[in-house]
Structures are given as structure tokens and as C-alpha cells.
């Protein structure tokens, strides 16, 4: 993992703050409330960051483009067309002419600069301005290797998102998923990893073994997933840095549906034995398994609460597939889903306030959320097949996969990744080089 140094441009902010307090009257804060259902996207101007040398100008343009795309995809910002810009801020340290930006109805403005340092690394600075209050809202500087420029753009987008919404961002993150190709009956499935904006896609496995359901470690550069590598489907760990793969635990028979605990020290999984599937937790340090459920049913798809105290899972112990919550050591099990249909793949929000799930009802699939006590069920999207929600680390956006019906020649059944806001709006395809399923969102990389 490459280290990025962060420095706060404290002096700059202080200087401007002093100036502004003697100037214009204090206005209401520029802010988006993202908890309300329908949000009018905030018009924001993101001109290329200023650079001297041609490579710096190019980097400045590329950075602005990635920041712009991140913010646009969130559905909360409307980056303005640079062709309408009046002021040219391509020179470093130029003071914004706020009147020029007000004239094109920009409410927020991003300025900044790119400089190549003597050691070859890039020095990137940015400032976010409230155009109407004529006030700097935030500003940071970063130094990084040239190859790492996209991460700087995502970090800047996260800072802008945070300053305007009051919530943590989710742009400096990655997605691990199952990349699919080939005919349905002989599907090739590979683990793939990409940035949340679909850039830097790479394949982690070669496709010889069927792989499913990858999930990120919350603390390490590791993924847990299911592989048929040695004939029997088993839970594995994949080290992203080294490419090393190893079996998790010494269970006979099939293990599946793995997920890390929030501290990264355990993996909770299902183990099938004699037609029943029960939940086990495996301590990754001692490699000792602990049995969590002992049912004559199918208990699977476990997911920890963010404080690690509870586990939500689905079970057909009551006759049909429903959601249950128990304590992390397996006690105090309570059913929480009581709507019509069946419920599967529960995933606890990183904020702890909601559980996302797949619901199957009346021949349709749904992605929905409910509170951990089962109240407040809300369905966000419905289709022939939508499945496997995963949360952005800020708990505001979900990603899942969607598959349309296929004809008898297998045409039309291509699964694809989609994202949707917790409000149910802003549904978008997340592009991938091939068909894709089972997305899992990483924590923020910092």
C-alpha cells in the first residue's frame, strides 16, 4: 500500500478566514441534506487544476475530470460545463473572481494546482469555495507519486463531499466482484478488483476455478471468498498484495458465505454437513472454529453488526428463508423479517442503523433495507433478479447485481453491477469490462 502524505493548508485557510470576516455578511452555510428523498444537485464548477509544465497541466485536467465524475455520480452535485466558465483559473494561486462564477450560477467552486517536485512526485493542492459567501470552505495539499494521481482525485472528491454534506465520502474505495464470461452452463468466473469508478480493473484469479462471493477485510489487504479450487467448494483468503490464496479452516465438506468481523480477526461462514448448513466463526489467529448455530436448517449469509456484537443471517428454520439476528457468540436468536416472501443476503450497514437484504416475492427480486429490529422495511429497487447488496463505507449508497431473464440460448441473462442511493434514487450501472456479479465495497482506503 502506497503511503500518501496529508497536510492541512492551515495557514492559507486562516488567512482567508480573517479576510472574509471583515468583508461580506455571514450567509447560511452551503450544505446538502442527503437524508431527504429528492435532492436538487448542487451546481459546482471544477476547472482544471492549474499547472505550469505541460505534464502538470495535463494532470490538473485529469484530476479535475475524476473529481467531477465522482461528484456527478453521487447524484448530489451537478458539475458545470467548463465551456461556460468566464474566469480562467489555470494560473496557480489566482484569486477567484466570484462575480464571474455567480454569473454562471456556480454555487461552489474548486480551484487548485499541480506541481512536480524535485523528487518527481506530484504536489496537488485544492480549495473549495462558497461562491455566494465568497468564502473558502476547505483546502488541502497532498504529495504523491505520479501513478497515484487518481487516488488524490478521489480523496479530493471525498473532502468536497464531506464538507458539503457533512457525511464521510466513499470515493477513495475499491470494489471486488466476480467477473463472468462464457456460456451460462460453462461460465468462467474470476475475482476482479477495481476502483469504485471502474478504473484500474484487474483480475485476481485466472478463471480455472469457479469463485463466488468475495468480501473485503475491514483492516487488511485481504479478501475472503468461495472457491471450487480443489474440487470441494471452500472458503479462502486472498492476499491482494502477494496474490497468495489459502483455505480458511480445516472443515470437512463445503464451507461458504464468508464475511469478516469488523476487527478483521474472524471470519464467519456457513458449513454444510449432511444436508444442513450451520454458522461458524473462525478465529484467524488461532485458526479455531466456534459453532454459532446448531439447526437442522439452512443458516447462511451471516453479517456482523459494525460494533461486532451481533450477527444477522438468513435461515429457513421456520419453513421459509427469513432474516434472524443473534449475538455474535450465537445466543439470543430473534427473527426480524415478517413481510411477505423470502429474505436473503442480509448485510449490516457500516453505520449500524440498517440492514440491507435481497427479497424474493411474487416472482420478483428486490433490494431493500430494514432496521435491525425488523421495523421500517423499505424496498429500493425491483427486477427479474437483483441480488447481493453491499454498502458504501458511509452507509448512504448500495451496490448490487442485476440480471435480466435469458432466452433458451442464454441471451439476455448478463449480470451487471448497479448502485443506488439509500433513498432509492440515482440508480446507475457500474461499468465493468465483462459481466459482473457479487460486488463488495471496500472500506475507505485511508
Partner 1 sequence: MHTKIISLAGALLLLAACSSPPPEAPPGGPPGPPGGAGIGSTNIVPGSQQDLEASAGDRVFFAFDRSDITSESQQILARQADWLRRYPNVTVTIEGHCDERGTREYNLALGERRAQAVKNVLVASGIPASRISTISYGKERPIVVGSNEEAWAQNRVAITTVN
Starting at the edge strand that comes first in sequence, how are the strands of the sheet with 385-391 ordered?
385-391, 397-403, 415-421, 428-430
User: Toward partner 1, which CB reaches closer, 4 or 188?
Assistant: 188
Residue 210 Cβ vs partner 1, minimum distance, rounded to whole Å: 6
Residue 426 Cβ vs partner 1, minimum distance, rounded to whole Å: 24
Q: Give the chain's end-to-end CA distance (angstroms, integer).
A: 10
Residue 274 Cβ vs partner 1, minimum distance, rounded to whole Å: 6
Angle of the 54-73 helix axis to the 149-165 helix axis, nearest 10: 40
User: Toward partner 1, which CB reaches closer, 173 or 322?
Assistant: 322
Residue 345 Cβ vs partner 1, minimum distance, rounded to whole Å: 5
User: Toward partner 1, which CB reaches closer, 96 or 302?
Assistant: 302
User: Toward partner 1, which CB reaches closer, 117 or 340?
Assistant: 340
Partners of 266 in the beta sheet? 283
Query: In what helix (H) or strand (E) does residue 176 lie, and over which residues does it extend?
Result: strand 174-181
Query: In what helix (H) or strand (E) does residue 322 lie, and over which residues does it extend?
Result: strand 322-327
User: Toward partner 1, which CB reaches closer, 314 or 434?
Assistant: 314
Residue 207 Cβ vs partner 1, minimum distance, rounded to whole Å: 13
| Contact set with partner 1 (CB under 8 A) | 183-187, 189, 210, 212-213, 226, 231-233, 254, 256-257, 270, 272, 274-277, 298, 300-301, 314, 316, 320-321, 342, 344-345, 358, 360, 384-385, 387-388, 403, 405-410, 412-413, 437-438
Residue 255 Cβ vs partner 1, minimum distance, rounded to whole Å: 10
- Cα 229–chain centre separation: 28
Q: Tell me how far CA of residue 249 lies from CA of 223, 226, 252, 287, in angstroms.
A: 15, 13, 9, 6
Query: Quick one: which of 348, 314, 355, 306 has its CA closest to 333?
Result: 314
Give the span between the Cα atoms of 215 and 245, in whole angstroms: 14
User: Toward partner 1, which CB reaches closer, 150 or 335?
Assistant: 335
Phi-psi region of 332 (alpha: psi -120 to 50; beta: other; left: phi over 0): left
User: Toward partner 1, which CB reaches closer, 75 or 249?
Assistant: 249
Amino acid at each position: 500500500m502506497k503511503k500518501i502524505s496529508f497536510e492541512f493548508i492551515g495557514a492559507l485557510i486562516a488567512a482567508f478566514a480573517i479576510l472574509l470576516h471583515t468583508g461580506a455578511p455571514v450567509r447560511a452555510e452551503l450544505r446538502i441534506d442527503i437524508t431527504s428523498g429528492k435532492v436538487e444537485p448542487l451546481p459546482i464548477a471544477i476547472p482544471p487544476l492549474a499547472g505550469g509544465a505541460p505534464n502538470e497541466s495535463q494532470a490538473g485536467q485529469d484530476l479535475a475530470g475524476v473529481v467531477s465524475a465522482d461528484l456527478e455520480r453521487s447524484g448530489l452535485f451537478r458539475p458545470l460545463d467548463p465551456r461556460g466558465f468566464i474566469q480562467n483559473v489555470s494560473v496557480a494561486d489566482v484569486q477567484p473572481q466570484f462575480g464571474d462564477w455567480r454569473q454562471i450560477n456556480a454555487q461552489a467552486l474548486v480551484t487548485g494546482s499541480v506541481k512536480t517536485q524535485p523528487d518527481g512526485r506530484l504536489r496537488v493542492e485544492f480549495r473549495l469555495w462558497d461562491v455566494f459567501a465568497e468564502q473558502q470552505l476547505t483546502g488541502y495539499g497532498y504529495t504523491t507519486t505520479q501513478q497515484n494521481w487518481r487516488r488524490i482525485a478521489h480523496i479530493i472528491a471525498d473532502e468536497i463531499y464531506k464538507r458539503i454534506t457533512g457525511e464521510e465520502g466513499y470515493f477513495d474505495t475499491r470494489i471486488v466482484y466476480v467477473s463472468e464470461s462464457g456460456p451460462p452452463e460453462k461460465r468462467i468466473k474470476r475475482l476482479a478488483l477495481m476502483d469504485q469508478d471502474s478504473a484500474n480493473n484487474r483480475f485476481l484469479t485466472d478463471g480455472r476455478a469457479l469463485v463466488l462471493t468475495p468480501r473485503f477485510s475491514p483492516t487488511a489487504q485481504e479478501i475472503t471468498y468461495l472457491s471450487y479450487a480443489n474440487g470441494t467448494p471452500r472458503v479462502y483468503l486472498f492476499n491482494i498484495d502477494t496474490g497468495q490464496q489459502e483455505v480458511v479452516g480445516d472443515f470437512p465438506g463445503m464451507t461458504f458465505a464468508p464475511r469478516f468481523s469488523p476487527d478483521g480477526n474472524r471470519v464467519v461462514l456457513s458449513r454444510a454437513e449432511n444436508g444442513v448448513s450451520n454458522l461458524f466463526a473462525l478465529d484467524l489467529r488461532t485458526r479455531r472454529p466456534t459453532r454459532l448455530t446448531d439447526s437442522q436448517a439452512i443458516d447462511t449469509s451471516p453479517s456482523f453488526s459494525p460494533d461486532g456484537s451481533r450477527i444477522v443471517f438468513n435461515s429457513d428454520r421456520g419453513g421459509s428463508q427469513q432474516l434472524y439476528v443473534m449475538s455474535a457468540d450465537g445466543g439470543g436468536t430473534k427473527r426480524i423479517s415478517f413481510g411477505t416472501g423470502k429474505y436473503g443476503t442480509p448485510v449490516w450497514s457500516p453505520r449500524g442503523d440498517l440492514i440491507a437484504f435481497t427479497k424474493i416475492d411474487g416472482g420478483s427480486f428486490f433490494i431493500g433495507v430494514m432496521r435491525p429490529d425488523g421495523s421500517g422495511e423499505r424496498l429500493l429497487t425491483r427486477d427479474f433478479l437483483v441480488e447481493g447488496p453491499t454498502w458504501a463505507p458511509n452507509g448512504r449508497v448500495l451496490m448490487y447485481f442485476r440480471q435480466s431473464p435469458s432466452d433458451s440460448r442464454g441471451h439476455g441473462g448478463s449480470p451487471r453491477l448497479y448502485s443506488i442511493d439509500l433513498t432509492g434514487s440515482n440508480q446507475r450501472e457500474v461499468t465493468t469490462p465483462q459481466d459482473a456479479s457479487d460486488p463488495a465495497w471496500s472500506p475507505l482506503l485511508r
